[in-house]
Protein backbone atom coordinates (compact mmCIF):
# COMPACT_ATOMS: atom_id res chain seq x y z
CA UNK A 1 0.00 0.00 0.00
CA UNK A 2 1.16 3.51 -0.83
CA UNK A 3 1.10 4.83 2.77
CA UNK A 4 3.17 1.88 4.03
CA UNK A 5 5.70 2.35 1.21
CA UNK A 6 6.07 6.02 2.10
CA UNK A 7 6.71 5.11 5.77
CA UNK A 8 9.70 3.06 4.64
CA UNK A 9 11.07 5.82 2.38
CA UNK A 10 14.70 6.59 3.48
CA UNK A 11 14.25 10.37 3.34
CA UNK A 12 11.19 10.15 5.56
CA UNK A 13 13.04 8.05 8.12
CA UNK A 14 15.93 10.52 8.08
CA UNK A 15 13.60 13.48 8.58
CA UNK A 16 11.86 11.71 11.49
CA UNK A 17 15.17 10.85 13.15
CA UNK A 18 16.38 14.43 12.76
CA UNK A 19 13.18 15.81 14.28
CA UNK A 20 13.42 13.45 17.24
CA UNK A 21 17.09 14.40 17.71
CA UNK A 22 16.31 18.09 17.75
CA UNK A 23 13.53 17.54 20.30
CA UNK A 24 15.90 15.58 22.52
CA UNK A 25 18.62 18.22 22.09
CA UNK A 26 16.37 20.91 23.54
CA UNK A 27 15.95 18.65 26.57
CA UNK A 28 12.44 17.35 25.91
CA UNK A 29 11.72 13.96 27.51
CA UNK A 30 12.98 11.00 25.46
CA UNK A 31 9.48 9.53 25.02
CA UNK A 32 8.11 12.87 23.78
CA UNK A 33 11.05 13.23 21.37
CA UNK A 34 10.31 9.78 19.94
CA UNK A 35 6.63 10.63 19.59
CA UNK A 36 7.57 13.81 17.69
CA UNK A 37 9.72 11.76 15.30
CA UNK A 38 6.89 9.28 14.70
CA UNK A 39 4.42 12.12 14.11
CA UNK A 40 6.73 13.75 11.55
CA UNK A 41 7.21 10.45 9.74
CA UNK A 42 3.47 9.75 9.63
CA UNK A 43 2.65 13.27 8.46
CA UNK A 44 5.21 13.14 5.64
CA UNK A 45 4.01 9.69 4.51
CA UNK A 46 0.40 10.85 4.46
CA UNK A 47 1.13 13.94 2.37
CA UNK A 48 3.37 12.03 -0.04
CA UNK A 49 0.89 9.19 -0.52
CA UNK A 50 -1.86 11.67 -1.38
CA UNK A 51 0.19 13.83 -3.69
CA UNK A 52 2.16 11.27 -5.65
CA UNK A 53 0.66 10.12 -8.92
CA UNK A 54 0.20 6.38 -9.26
CA UNK A 55 2.67 4.69 -11.58
CA UNK A 56 1.14 4.08 -15.01
CA UNK A 57 0.19 0.49 -15.65
CA UNK A 58 2.09 -1.22 -18.41
CA UNK A 59 -0.29 -2.02 -21.24
CA UNK A 60 0.12 -5.36 -22.90
CA UNK A 61 -0.80 -5.66 -26.57
CA UNK A 62 -4.12 -7.49 -26.82
CA UNK A 63 -4.25 -10.62 -28.95
CA UNK A 64 -7.56 -10.80 -30.83
CA UNK A 65 -9.26 -14.03 -31.85
CA UNK A 66 -8.29 -15.40 -35.26
CA UNK A 67 -11.20 -16.50 -37.46
CA UNK A 68 -11.12 -20.29 -38.01
CA UNK A 69 -10.42 -21.30 -41.60
CA UNK A 70 -9.44 -17.77 -42.63
CA UNK A 71 -6.41 -16.85 -44.72
CA UNK A 72 -4.82 -15.24 -41.69
CA UNK A 73 -5.21 -18.43 -39.66
CA UNK A 74 -3.54 -20.46 -42.41
CA UNK A 75 -0.55 -18.12 -42.55
CA UNK A 76 -0.33 -18.02 -38.76
CA UNK A 77 -0.25 -21.83 -38.60
CA UNK A 78 2.52 -21.77 -41.20
CA UNK A 79 4.51 -19.33 -39.07
CA UNK A 80 3.94 -21.41 -35.92
CA UNK A 81 5.19 -24.50 -37.72
CA UNK A 82 8.32 -22.65 -38.82
CA UNK A 83 8.95 -21.40 -35.27
CA UNK A 84 8.56 -24.95 -33.94
CA UNK A 85 10.99 -26.18 -36.59
CA UNK A 86 13.52 -23.53 -35.62
CA UNK A 87 13.27 -24.48 -31.94
CA UNK A 88 13.68 -28.16 -32.83
CA UNK A 89 16.78 -27.42 -34.89
CA UNK A 90 18.22 -25.28 -32.13
CA UNK A 91 17.77 -27.96 -29.48
CA UNK A 92 19.24 -30.66 -31.72
CA UNK A 93 22.59 -28.90 -32.24
CA UNK A 94 25.62 -30.10 -30.33
CA UNK A 95 27.09 -27.57 -27.93
CA UNK A 96 29.40 -25.16 -29.71
CA UNK A 97 29.66 -21.77 -31.37
CA UNK A 98 27.00 -22.48 -33.99
CA UNK A 99 24.54 -23.79 -31.40
CA UNK A 100 25.11 -20.65 -29.33
CA UNK A 101 24.45 -18.35 -32.27
CA UNK A 102 21.29 -20.18 -33.29
CA UNK A 103 20.06 -20.24 -29.68
CA UNK A 104 20.53 -16.46 -29.51
CA UNK A 105 18.15 -16.11 -32.45
CA UNK A 106 15.36 -18.18 -30.93
CA UNK A 107 13.90 -15.41 -28.68
CA UNK A 108 13.70 -13.15 -31.73
CA UNK A 109 11.83 -15.88 -33.62
CA UNK A 110 9.35 -16.15 -30.74
CA UNK A 111 8.93 -12.37 -30.56
CA UNK A 112 8.25 -12.28 -34.30
CA UNK A 113 5.69 -15.07 -33.96
CA UNK A 114 3.93 -13.20 -31.15
CA UNK A 115 3.64 -10.13 -33.39
CA UNK A 116 2.29 -12.28 -36.22
CA UNK A 117 -0.38 -13.61 -33.85
CA UNK A 118 -1.47 -10.05 -33.13
CA UNK A 119 -1.50 -9.24 -36.84
CA UNK A 120 -3.62 -12.31 -37.56
CA UNK A 121 -6.11 -11.31 -34.87
CA UNK A 122 -6.28 -7.80 -36.24
CA UNK A 123 -6.79 -9.15 -39.77
CA UNK A 124 -9.77 -11.17 -38.53
CA UNK A 125 -11.21 -8.18 -36.67
CA UNK A 126 -10.79 -6.05 -39.78
CA UNK A 127 -12.47 -8.68 -41.93
CA UNK A 128 -15.39 -8.81 -39.52
CA UNK A 129 -15.76 -5.04 -39.66
CA UNK A 130 -15.60 -5.14 -43.47
CA UNK A 131 -18.48 -7.59 -43.58
CA UNK A 132 -20.70 -4.99 -41.92
CA UNK A 133 -20.31 -2.54 -44.80
CA UNK A 134 -22.20 -3.59 -47.95
CA UNK A 135 -20.06 -1.89 -50.57
CA UNK A 136 -22.42 -2.72 -53.44
CA UNK A 137 -25.36 -1.17 -51.60
CA UNK A 138 -23.27 1.86 -50.65
CA UNK A 139 -22.16 2.34 -54.27
CA UNK A 140 -25.71 2.12 -55.58
CA UNK A 141 -26.95 4.56 -52.95
CA UNK A 142 -24.18 6.99 -53.81
CA UNK A 143 -25.07 6.92 -57.51
CA UNK A 144 -28.75 7.42 -56.73
CA UNK A 145 -28.06 10.42 -54.51
CA UNK A 146 -25.69 12.00 -57.02
CA UNK A 147 -28.32 11.60 -59.72
CA UNK A 148 -31.01 13.11 -57.48
CA UNK A 149 -28.82 16.07 -56.63
CA UNK A 150 -28.49 17.04 -60.28
CA UNK A 151 -32.23 17.80 -60.49
CA UNK A 152 -33.05 18.47 -56.82
CA UNK A 153 -35.03 21.52 -55.73
CA UNK A 154 -33.21 23.95 -53.45
CA UNK A 155 -35.32 23.09 -50.39
CA UNK A 156 -34.21 19.41 -50.42
CA UNK A 157 -30.67 19.86 -51.71
CA UNK A 158 -29.18 20.27 -48.23
CA UNK A 159 -30.68 17.01 -46.98
CA UNK A 160 -29.52 15.14 -50.06
CA UNK A 161 -25.99 16.51 -49.70
CA UNK A 162 -25.89 15.44 -46.05
CA UNK A 163 -27.07 11.95 -47.02
CA UNK A 164 -24.42 11.78 -49.75
CA UNK A 165 -21.72 12.79 -47.26
CA UNK A 166 -22.77 9.92 -44.97
CA UNK A 167 -22.68 7.44 -47.83
CA UNK A 168 -19.23 8.64 -48.91
CA UNK A 169 -18.02 8.23 -45.32
CA UNK A 170 -19.11 4.57 -45.39
CA UNK A 171 -17.23 4.04 -48.64
CA UNK A 172 -14.13 5.65 -47.13
CA UNK A 173 -14.33 3.37 -44.09
CA UNK A 174 -14.59 0.33 -46.36
CA UNK A 175 -11.57 1.49 -48.36
CA UNK A 176 -9.45 1.97 -45.22
CA UNK A 177 -10.46 -1.38 -43.78
CA UNK A 178 -9.86 -3.15 -47.06
CA UNK A 179 -6.41 -1.59 -47.46
CA UNK A 180 -5.46 -2.44 -43.89
CA UNK A 181 -6.58 -6.05 -44.27
CA UNK A 182 -4.66 -6.46 -47.51
CA UNK A 183 -1.55 -5.09 -45.80
CA UNK A 184 -1.98 -7.40 -42.82
CA UNK A 185 -2.45 -10.49 -44.98
CA UNK A 186 0.55 -9.59 -47.14
CA UNK A 187 2.74 -9.21 -44.05
CA UNK A 188 1.46 -12.44 -42.54
CA UNK A 189 2.37 -14.23 -45.75
CA UNK A 190 5.76 -12.54 -45.92
CA UNK A 191 6.51 -13.26 -42.26
CA UNK A 192 5.46 -16.91 -42.43
CA UNK A 193 7.41 -17.60 -45.61
CA UNK A 194 10.37 -15.67 -44.23
CA UNK A 195 10.46 -17.88 -41.13
CA UNK A 196 10.13 -20.95 -43.35
CA UNK A 197 13.11 -19.78 -45.38
CA UNK A 198 15.08 -19.08 -42.21
CA UNK A 199 14.51 -22.62 -40.93
CA UNK A 200 15.61 -24.09 -44.27
CA UNK A 201 18.74 -21.94 -44.25
CA UNK A 202 19.60 -22.93 -40.69
CA UNK A 203 19.16 -26.61 -41.59
CA UNK A 204 21.44 -26.15 -44.57
CA UNK A 205 24.03 -24.37 -42.47
CA UNK A 206 24.03 -27.00 -39.76
CA UNK A 207 24.56 -29.72 -42.37
CA UNK A 208 27.43 -27.90 -44.08
CA UNK A 209 29.25 -26.34 -41.13
CA UNK A 210 31.31 -27.87 -38.35
CA UNK A 211 31.73 -26.25 -34.96
CA UNK A 212 35.45 -25.86 -35.57
CA UNK A 213 34.80 -23.79 -38.69
CA UNK A 214 31.66 -21.77 -38.16
CA UNK A 215 30.79 -19.66 -41.20
CA UNK A 216 30.36 -16.37 -39.38
CA UNK A 217 29.31 -14.57 -42.55
CA UNK A 218 26.48 -17.05 -43.16
CA UNK A 219 25.35 -16.79 -39.53
CA UNK A 220 25.36 -13.01 -39.79
CA UNK A 221 23.20 -13.26 -42.90
CA UNK A 222 20.74 -15.40 -40.94
CA UNK A 223 20.61 -12.85 -38.14
CA UNK A 224 20.08 -10.04 -40.64
CA UNK A 225 17.32 -12.01 -42.35
CA UNK A 226 15.55 -12.62 -39.05
CA UNK A 227 15.89 -8.98 -38.03
CA UNK A 228 14.38 -7.94 -41.35
CA UNK A 229 11.37 -10.20 -40.74
CA UNK A 230 10.97 -8.87 -37.20
CA UNK A 231 11.14 -5.25 -38.29
CA UNK A 232 8.68 -5.87 -41.12
CA UNK A 233 5.97 -7.30 -38.89
CA UNK A 234 6.48 -4.61 -36.24
CA UNK A 235 6.23 -1.82 -38.82
CA UNK A 236 3.06 -3.34 -40.25
CA UNK A 237 1.54 -3.59 -36.78
CA UNK A 238 2.30 0.06 -36.08
CA UNK A 239 1.11 1.26 -39.50
CA UNK A 240 -2.21 -0.57 -39.32
CA UNK A 241 -2.74 0.59 -35.73
CA UNK A 242 -2.40 4.20 -36.91
CA UNK A 243 -4.52 3.77 -40.04
CA UNK A 244 -7.36 2.13 -38.10
CA UNK A 245 -7.15 4.57 -35.20
Q: Tens digits of per-residue pLDDT, 154-177?
A: 999 999 999 999 999 999 999 999
Considering only CA atoms, which of 115, 95, 120, 112 is closest in space to residue 196? 112
Confidence check: pLDDT of 125 > 60: yes
Distance CA 11, CA 8 (A): 9
Confidence check: pLDDT of 67 > 60: yes
8 by DSSP, 3-state: which?
Answer: coil
Q: What is the pLDDT of residue 10?
A: 46
pLDDT digits 0-9 by tens, 22-48:
444 444 454 444 444 445 445 544 544
Of residues 225 and 98, more confidently modeled: 225
Question: What single string gives the DSSP state of each residue in 145-164?
Answer: HHHHHHH--HHHHHHHHHHH
Tell me, what DSSP letter sits at residue 68?
A: T
Question: Which helix (H) or strand (E) segment is 93 a member of?
Answer: none
Mean pLDDT of 183-192: 94
pTM (global) more than 0.85: no
Quick one: 172 exposed, middle or buried, by C-beta within 10 A (0-12, 13-18, 19+)? exposed
At residue 61, φ and ψ (nearest 5 deg) are -65, 130
Each residue of 127-158: b (16+ CB within 10 Å) or e?
bebbeeeeeeebeebbeebeeeeeeeeeeeee
Considering only CA atoms, which of 222, 241, 242 is closest in space to residue 103? 222
Confidence of residue 106 (pLDDT cuts 50, 70, 90): very high
Considering only CA atoms, which of 189, 180, 186 is closest in space to residue 126? 180
Question: Which helix (H) or strand (E) segment is 6 a member of?
Answer: helix 2-7
Amino acid sequence: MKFARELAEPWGLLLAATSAGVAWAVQLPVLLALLIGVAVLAARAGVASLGREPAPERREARVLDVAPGSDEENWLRRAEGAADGFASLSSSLDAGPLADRVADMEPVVQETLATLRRLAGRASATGKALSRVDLDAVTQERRRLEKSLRTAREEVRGDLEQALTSVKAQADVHARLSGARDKLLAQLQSGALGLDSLVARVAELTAATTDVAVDTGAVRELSDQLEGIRQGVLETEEATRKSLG
